């Protein structure tokens, strides 16, 4: 089992953690699907603990290849 952390958009949290895509736009869904296909990160286990868990703005993040805009991001842990 391999753990990997990725800095990804905060608004992807519902889909990555709970499988809830209701809050995502069609574009968000497409970008997330493309990112998952390219990176094949495994199962998202949640957000990496920090105190407090807060999103921060980044121009460059691990999803920049599919989403070239800056956004608020969190660090997500994946297990493969």
User: CA-CA distance, 53 to 76, in Å (whole number)?
Assistant: 11
Residues 6+ apart with CB under 8 A from 49: none
Give the total number of structural domains in the chain: 1
The percent of residues above 90 in pLDDT, for the chain, comes to: 85
Task: With cut-offs at 50, 70 and 90, classify the pLDDT of residue 28.
Answer: very high
Query: How does the average pLDDT of the chain come out, rounded?
Result: 93
pLDDT of the residue at 52: 65
Domain that holds residue 67: 3-79
pLDDT of the residue at 49: 78
pLDDT of the residue at 68: 87
Residues 6+ apart with CB under 8 A from 79: 1, 2, 3, 42, 43, 45
From the number of C-beta atoms within 10 Å of its C-beta (0-12, 13-18, 19+), residue 23 rates as: exposed
User: CA-CA distance, 41 to 72, in Å (whole number)?
Assistant: 20
Angle at Cα 44 formed by Cα 11 and Cα 39, nearest 5°? 85
Mean pLDDT of 24-51: 93
């Amino acid at each position: 089992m391999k753990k990997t952390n990725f800095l990804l958009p905060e608004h992807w949290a519902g889909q990555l953690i709970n499988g809830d895509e209701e809050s995502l736009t069609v574009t968000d869904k497409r970008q997330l699907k493309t990112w998952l296909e390219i990176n094949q990160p495994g199962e998202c286990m949640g957000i990496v603990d920090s105190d407090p868990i807060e999103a921060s703005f980044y121009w460059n993040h691990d999803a920049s290849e599919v989403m070239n805009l800056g956004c608020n991001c969190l660090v997500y842990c994946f297990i493969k």
